[in-house]
């Protein structure tokens, strides 16, 4: 077969690169170890347009590289041969080593090719963290809200091709920071959990051939997904890079120091760190005791029913009795335990109410006074209620005697329970978007903050969740408590009304609880605002992962129709349906 020389003549040219190169780090939000190469124009490239097709470093192809010309990134990788251009190549370089860069270019008109070569030596710097770990991905983490982050928990889930992962013991998280012309590495304790593997043999073995090229189409690879958690410290507006290293089968299990201790059987766990000791009820798994360590004081309720501190979600739907999650008896549960956090998840219908499904998650962290709670309540079938509530915490009157809250306009308000309304009247009713409420005692220098972080309501079947002028309120009776009312005629002046909770209604909430001590009253607001701002405004987290050699080239066309569907009837240029 004859091939037109003007279209397919292979031209092998060696063109010198200028000496300016940079060996860079994944630091301050950057996601790559990289080599930068500046290429000057030559007589061989003049008056022509070229496309960069492949880049190699020490004969290893890099799928990840960027092209710049005239100070701008060239997205299609086509360059003007009359102008110099720059390459930024992802590569795991080490200090004081020779690197040979090879760049393949294709003439966009004649289809002739050109090869560029350059050999250079990396500077005497630290380079890649540890070559025993063959792969890494980066988390580019940004603090964008001008708040200090201290021991802030980052939960992330990543997916990698399965043959790059042997066990969770090989995972390392490392923070990279600048230090003069070089960098420093700080290994960050992490916890790996929820490992899942996809390997569907039917899909993997299904042979698909490209009609134009005859090549096999690779649509799937066995994939391992895992979640990990680590704590970060960031200054306001700081950008940081945390690297996740993997693919080191010989790595030993890391041993991280932790103040987080978990004891007890089944649901009746005791969770302890440097700030608190918390006891969960043995039947329901709800929080029933909190020991604040700096004051040595115990916070509890224990005046009625099960005596838990945390009661809701809950519903009062006569003729059934009032039903709370604190009334659960041995609901199904699962837990995750490690050096960074302990979590317990429960999901079950409310007692006596099969039509109300609830899930609750607690998260307890090392080196942190914060307890995170997430709950979801779903109405499975239409019912009528006097009460549908969430977020209720109840304390006896041994410790607290005052409350404080911030309005969403930023105003700070205090309540002295000695001068407040009493049950059955509400001490006060607040907007449903109130940022936080604190119960406290100045005499005992102790406080308990409820920080309202997230709230969403919806309905699976449309029309929105059932809501009857929702609000947050505080109560003063034999106890002090606060709760969120979604539907609550029982707390009104017309308590006999039965109100609808529609099928499909969903109520989701995330709350942070913080027991803490303070010496001066003004510190109460400062401390509460610190943790509210920290957790209310999440960090920006972006994953930067390499392109694996096995990944398909270019765009992998998705499967948009089932095999028996041949297009949409009457569609413009659509195929006829068979």
At 42 the pLDDT is 66
Domain presence at residue 490: yes
Same domain, 398 and 505: yes
Domain presence at residue 363: yes
At 41 the pLDDT is 61
Same domain, 227 and 287: no
Higher-scoring residue by pLDDT: 578, 56:
56
Spatial contact of 435 and 406, defined as CB atoms under 8 Å apart: yes
Considering 502, 517, 532, which residue would you say is the last residue of a domain? 517
The C-alpha torsion from 19 through 24 and 30 to 34, rounded to 10°, is 70
Tell me what the mean pLDDT of segment 177-181 comes to.
93
Same domain, 470 and 440: yes
Q: What percent of the chain has pLDDT over 90?
A: 82
Rounded to whole angstroms, the Cα distance separating 449 from 456 reads 21
Which residues on neighbouring strands pair with residue 77, listed in sequence order? none
Same domain, 468 and 391: yes
Domain presence at residue 548: no
pLDDT tens readout for residues 107-139? 988 888 988 888 889 999 999 999 999 999 999
At 62 the pLDDT is 96
pLDDT at 13 over 60: no
At 122 the pLDDT is 95
Higher-scoring residue by pLDDT: 22, 564:
22
pLDDT tens readout for residues 492-547? 999 999 999 999 999 999 999 999 999 888 899 999 999 999 999 999 999 999 99
At 564 the pLDDT is 59
pLDDT at 18 over 60: no
Considering 211, 246, 281, which residue would you say is the last residue of a domain? 246
Domain presence at residue 126: no
Tell me what the mean pLDDT of segment 47-68 comes to.
94
Q: Please state the domain count of the chain.
A: 3
Domain presence at residue 522: no
Same domain, 304 and 405: yes
Please report, for the domain that includes residue 308, its CATH number: 2.70.98.10
Tell me what the mean pLDDT of segment 409-419 comes to.
95
pTM of the predicted structure, to 2 decimals? 0.91
Residue 3: pLDDT band with limits 50, 70, 90: very low
Mean pLDDT of the chain: 92
Domain presence at residue 322: yes
Same domain, 272 and 389: yes
Please report, for the domain that includes residue 95, its CATH number: 2.60.40
Same domain, 280 and 394: yes
Domain presence at residue 198: yes
Tell me what the mean pLDDT of segment 451-456 comes to.
98
Which of 39-48, 255-264, 462-471 is the least confident region? 39-48
Rounded to whole angstroms, the Cα distance separating 559 from 169 reads 37
Rounded to whole angstroms, the Cα distance separating 130 from 517 reads 43
DSSP string, 67-123: EEETTEE-TT-EEETTS-EEEEEE---BSS-EEEEEEEEEETTT--EEEEEEEEE--
Cα–Cα distance list, 542 to 141, 243, 404, 538, 555 (Å): 7, 12, 37, 12, 22
pLDDT tens readout for residues 540-565? 999 999 999 999 988 887 877 776 55
Same domain, 90 and 139: no
Domain presence at residue 464: yes
At 208 the pLDDT is 82
pLDDT at 2 over 70: no
Same domain, 309 and 169: no
Rounded to whole angstroms, the Cα distance separating 534 from 143 reads 10
pLDDT tens readout for residues 133-161? 999 999 999 999 999 999 999 999 999 99
Instruction: Please give the sequence-ordered ranges of beta strands (E in DSSP) within 301-370, or none if there are none.
Output: 314-316, 323-324, 333-337, 341-350, 353-365
At 5 the pLDDT is 35
What is the span of the domain harbouring residue 286?
261-517
Same domain, 318 and 240: no
Rounded to whole angstroms, the Cα distance separating 142 from 234 reads 8
Tell me what the mean pLDDT of segment 229-245 comes to.
97
Same domain, 40 and 143: no
Looking at 5-110, list the stretches that DSSP marks H as alpha helix, in order from N- to C-terminal side. 5-8
pLDDT tens readout for residues 355-399? 999 999 999 999 999 999 999 999 999 999 999 999 999 999 999
pLDDT at 20 over 90: no
Spatial contact of 483 and 312, defined as CB atoms under 8 Å apart: yes
Residue 566: pLDDT band with limits 50, 70, 90: low
Higher-scoring residue by pLDDT: 4, 278:
278
Q: Collapse the DSSP code of 502 into the 3-class scheme (helix H, G, I; strand E, B; otherwise coil) and give the result.
A: coil
Rounded to whole angstroms, the Cα distance separating 22 from 37 reads 7
At 211 the pLDDT is 78
At 7 the pLDDT is 31
Rounded to whole angstroms, the Cα distance separating 427 from 476 reads 6
**Over the Cα atoms of the chain, what is R_g?**
31
Same domain, 372 and 498: yes
């Amino acid at each position: 077969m004859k091939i037109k020389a003007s279209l397919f003549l292979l031209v092998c040219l060696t063109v010198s690169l200028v000496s300016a190169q940079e060996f860079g780090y994944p630091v301050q939000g950057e996601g790559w170890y990289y080599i930068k190469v500046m290429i000057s124009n030559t007589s061989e490239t003049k008056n022509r347009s070229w496309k960069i097709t492949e880049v190699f470093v020490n004969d290893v192809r890099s799928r990840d590289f960027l092209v710049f010309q005239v100070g701008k990134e060239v997205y299609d990788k086509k360059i003007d041969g009359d102008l110099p251009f720059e390459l930024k190549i992802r590569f795991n370089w080490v200090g004081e080593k020779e690197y040979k860069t090879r760049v393949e270019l294709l003439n966009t008109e004649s289809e002739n090719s050109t090869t560029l070569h350059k050999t250079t030596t990396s500077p005497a710097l630290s380079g890649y963290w540890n070559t025993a770990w063959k792969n890494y991905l980066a988390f580019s983490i940004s603090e964008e809200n001008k708040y200090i982050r201290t021991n802030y928990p980052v939960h992330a889930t990543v997916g990698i091709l399965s043959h790059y992962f042997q066990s969770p013991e090989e995972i390392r998280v490392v923070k990279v920071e600048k230090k003069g012309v070089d960098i420093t590495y700080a290994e960050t304790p992490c916890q790996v959990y929820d490992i899942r593997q996809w390997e569907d043999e039917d899909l993997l073995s299904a042979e698909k051939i490209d009609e134009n090229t005859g090549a096999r189409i690779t649509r799937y690879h066995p994939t391992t997904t895992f979640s990990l958690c680590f704590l970060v410290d960031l200054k306001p507006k700081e950008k940081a890079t945390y690297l996740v290293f993997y693919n080191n089968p010989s790595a030993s299990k890391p041993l991280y120091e932790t103040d987080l201790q978990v004891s007890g059987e089944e649901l009746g766990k005791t969770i302890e760190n440097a700030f608190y000791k918390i006891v969960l009820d043995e039947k329901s798994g709800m929080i029933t005791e909190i020991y604040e360590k700096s004051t040595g004081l115990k916070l509890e309720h224990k005046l009625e029913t099960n005596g838990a501190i945390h009661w809701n979600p809950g519903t009062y739907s006569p003729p059934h009795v009032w039903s709370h999650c604190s009334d659960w008896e041995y609901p199904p549960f699962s837990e995750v335990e490690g050096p960074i956090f302990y979590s317990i998840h429960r999901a079950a219908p409310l007692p006596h109410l099969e039509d109300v499904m609830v899930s609750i998650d607690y998260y307890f962290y090392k080196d942190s006074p914060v307890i995170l709670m997430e709950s979801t309540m779903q109405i499975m079938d239409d019912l009528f209620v006097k009460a549908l509530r969430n977020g209720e915490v109840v304390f006896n009157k041994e410790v607290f005697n005052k409350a404080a809250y911030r309005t969403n306009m930023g105003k700070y308000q205090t309540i002295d329970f000695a001068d407040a309304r009493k049950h059955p009247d509400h001490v006060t009713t607040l907007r449903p978007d109130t940022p936080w409420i604190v119960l406290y005692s100045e005499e005992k220098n102790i406080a308990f903050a409820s920080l309202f972080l997230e709230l969403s309501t919806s309905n699976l079947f449309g029309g929105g969740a059932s809501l009857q002028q929702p609000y947050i309120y505080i109560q003063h009776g034999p106890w002090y408590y606060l709760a969120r009312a979604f539907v609550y005629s029982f707390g009104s002046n017309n308590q006999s009304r039965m109100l609808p909770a529609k099928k499909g209604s969903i109520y989701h909430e995330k709350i942070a609880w913080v027991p803490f001590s303070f010496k001066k009253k003004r510190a109460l607001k400062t401390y509460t605002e610190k943790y509210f701002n920290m957790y209310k405004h999440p960090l920006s987290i972006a994953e930067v992962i390499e392109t694996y050699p096995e990944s398909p080239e270019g765009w992998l066309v998705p499967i948009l129709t089932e095999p028996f569907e041949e297009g949409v009837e009457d569609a413009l240029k659509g195929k006829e349906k068979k």
